[in-house]
């Protein structure tokens, strides 16, 4: 016999929320159908995507040709994208003119790079403390693998190109500009006038000159300031200029974070007897860098994309490789496929940095959210 539950006067049984007041329906209603204007925008956007996405997917995949010997061969096999060109030149897009028999060194460098990132970016990595030395030795190992020496065949930097060159410039610029930018930001707020003026002049100069101008200076005019007979590798000059340029922007981002820290934080560190560098390392900088994460990552993304400017001084990044490859009469007229391919590479890299930035912000967030 069923037991009839009795309720006291004024009490009511718990009822499920009405349909549309929870879950996916509530999210859709709030974000897409909350007002007549939003309903119009949602429907117009869906119609626009309907017009754009199916033809794009058909061109990129359904009607595309993935294996072909020439542009004419592609047109005989299908009306979509001719990815056969990318398939034929993928090695050149990836490694540039790096010797074919030595490309295993580039692959090994990339694998070690992934392992070097794990202790830095993944705080839950098993035995993380035991592997923290990998990021410290990676620059030296990478230089040995890519350039040669000590048992490996020498490879000159003019053979670097493609995505490999982009990664070398982007990663080196990011790694070098962050600590230098932090030091410049601290120097700009220093009580020592000479240090403050020196850092301020450095920052304002590099922020006031376009990167492409600095690259021209690095490729041509820098030799005039060196002793006769001095050989200064072009790629090394580019890496130096890119790192200095990016560090000036990082310095301003970090300076904004430092100015956002209440003065009481520094006074509390002084009251605890901490010296300047100890208070900066333990109290001030961790909070300032947490605030500055969006700006720092935004600068890194801009630096990574600006690596394509090296084409103007004769270094063949992916865009330079594409121009050289399309000069072949067999593949002329396929610039759309090439630019889409390169754009996807940069999108994946920049989107990954952006998503990790959001993850890091959420992980380090200690305040209250509305």
- Render pLDDT for 35-71 as a digit per residue (tens, 0 to 9): 899 999 999 999 999 999 999 999 999 999 999 999 9
The verdict on 164 and 33 lying in the same domain is no
Owning domain of residue 208: 89-98+155-364
Q: State yes or no: pLDDT of 14 exceeds 70.
A: no
CATH number at residue 236: 1.10.3720.10
Q: Closest Cα partner for 145 from 174, 170, 163, 168?
A: 168
What DSSP string describes 59-113? IIIIT-B-S-SSHHHHHHH-SS-BTHHHHHHHHHHHHTT--GGGHHHHHHHHHHH
pLDDT value at residue 366: 64
How does DSSP classify residue 149?
A: B
110 domain residue, yes or no: no
Separation between Cα atoms, residue 265 and residue 288, nearest integer Å: 11
Q: Mind listing the pLDDT tens digit for each residue in 29-45?
A: 888 888 899 999 999 99
303-313 average pLDDT score: 93
CB atoms inside a 10 Å sphere around CB 309 = 19
Q: State yes or no: pLDDT of 221 exceeds 80.
A: no
Q: Mind listing the pLDDT tens digit for each residue in 240-295?
A: 999 999 999 999 999 999 999 998 988 898 888 899 899 999 999 999 999 999 99
The verdict on 309 and 184 lying in the same domain is yes
3 domain residue, yes or no: no
The verdict on 93 and 31 lying in the same domain is no
How does DSSP classify residue 128?
A: G
Percent of the chain with pLDDT over 90: 68
The verdict on 356 and 215 lying in the same domain is yes
The verdict on 58 and 173 lying in the same domain is no
The verdict on 49 and 163 lying in the same domain is no
Separation between Cα atoms, residue 49 and residue 126, nearest integer Å: 44
Distances (CA, A) of 367 to 135, 163, 280, 285, 324: 31, 40, 21, 17, 52
Separation between Cα atoms, residue 321 and residue 315, nearest integer Å: 9
183-187 average pLDDT score: 96
* Mean pLDDT, the chain, whole residue set: 89
The verdict on 173 and 285 lying in the same domain is yes
pLDDT value at residue 368: 44
Q: State yes or no: pLDDT of 321 exceeds 90.
A: yes
Backbone phi, psi, residue 368, to 5°: -100, 140
12 domain residue, yes or no: no
CB 320 within 8 A of CB 365: no
The verdict on 31 and 159 lying in the same domain is no
321-335 average pLDDT score: 89
> What SS3 state is found at 328?
coil
Q: Closest Cα partner for 172 from 294, 300, 293?
A: 300
pLDDT value at residue 125: 83
223 domain residue, yes or no: yes
The verdict on 186 and 48 lying in the same domain is no
Which residues have C-beta within 8 Å of that of residue 102, sequence separation ≥ 6? 152, 153, 155
**156, burial (CB in 10 Å: exposed 0-12, middle 13-18, buried 19+):** exposed
The verdict on 187 and 293 lying in the same domain is yes
Q: State yes or no: pLDDT of 370 exceeds 50.
A: no
**Counted domains in the chain:** 2
187-200 average pLDDT score: 94
pLDDT value at residue 292: 94
**311, burial (CB in 10 Å: exposed 0-12, middle 13-18, buried 19+):** middle
Distances (CA, A) of 283 to 185, 192, 245, 266, 289: 16, 21, 28, 8, 11
For residue 187, the Cα-to-chain-centroid distance in whole angstroms is 26
334 domain residue, yes or no: yes
Q: State yes or no: pLDDT of 301 exceeds 80.
A: yes
**216, burial (CB in 10 Å: exposed 0-12, middle 13-18, buried 19+):** middle
93 domain residue, yes or no: yes
Q: State yes or no: pLDDT of 142 exceeds 50.
A: yes
56 domain residue, yes or no: yes
The verdict on 29 and 162 lying in the same domain is no
Of 128 and 73, the structure prediction assigns the larger pLDDT to 73
Q: Mind listing the pLDDT tens digit for each residue in 98-114?
A: 999 999 999 999 999 99
150 domain residue, yes or no: no
């Amino acid at each position: 016999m069923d037991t009839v539950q009795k309720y006291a006067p004024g009490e009511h049984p718990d009822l499920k929320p009405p349909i549309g007041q929870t879950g996916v329906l509530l999210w859709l209603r709030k974000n897409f159908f909350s007002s007549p204007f939003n309903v119009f925008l949602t429907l117009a956007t869906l119609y626009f995507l309907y017009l754009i996405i199916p033809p794009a997917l058909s061109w990129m995949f359904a009607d595309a040709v993935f294996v072909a010997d020439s542009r004419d061969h592609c047109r005989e096999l299908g009306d979509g994208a001719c990815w056969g060109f990318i398939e034929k030149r993928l090695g050149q897009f990836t490694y540039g003119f790096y010797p074919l028999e030595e490309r295993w060194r580039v692959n090994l460098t990339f694998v070690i790079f992934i392992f070097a990132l794990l202790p830095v970016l993944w705080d839950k990595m098993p035995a993380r403390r035991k592997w923290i030395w990998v990021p410290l030795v990676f620059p030296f190992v990478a230089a040995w693998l890519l350039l040669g020496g000590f048992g490996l065949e020498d490879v000159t930097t003019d053979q670097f190109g493609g995505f490999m060159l982009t990664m070398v410039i982007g990663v080196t610029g990011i790694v070098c500009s962050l600590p230098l930018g932090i030091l410049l930001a601290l120097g700009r707020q220093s009580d020592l006038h000479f240090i403050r003026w020196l850092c301020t002049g450095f920052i304002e100069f590099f922020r006031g000159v376009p990167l492409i101008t600095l690259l021209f200076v690095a490729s041509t005019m820098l030799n005039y300031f060196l002793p006769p007979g001095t050989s200064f590798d072009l790629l090394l000059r580019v890496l130096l200029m890119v790192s200095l340029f990016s560090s000036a922007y990082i310095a301003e981002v970090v300076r904004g974070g430092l100015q956002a820290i209440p003065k009481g934080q520094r006074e509390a560190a002084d009251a605890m007897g901490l010296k300047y560098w100890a208070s900066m390392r333990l109290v001030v900088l961790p909070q300032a860098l947490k605030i500055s994460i969006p700006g720092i990552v935004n600068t890194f993304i801009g630096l990574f994309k600006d690596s394509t400017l090296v084409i103007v001084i004769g270094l063949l990044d992916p865009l330079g490789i594409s121009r050289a490859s399309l000069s072949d009469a067999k593949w002329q007229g396929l610039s759309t496929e090439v630019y889409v391919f390169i754009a996807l590479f940069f999108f994946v890299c920049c989107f990954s940095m952006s998503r990790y930035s959001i993850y890091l912000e959420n992980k380090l967030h200690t305040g209250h959210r509305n």
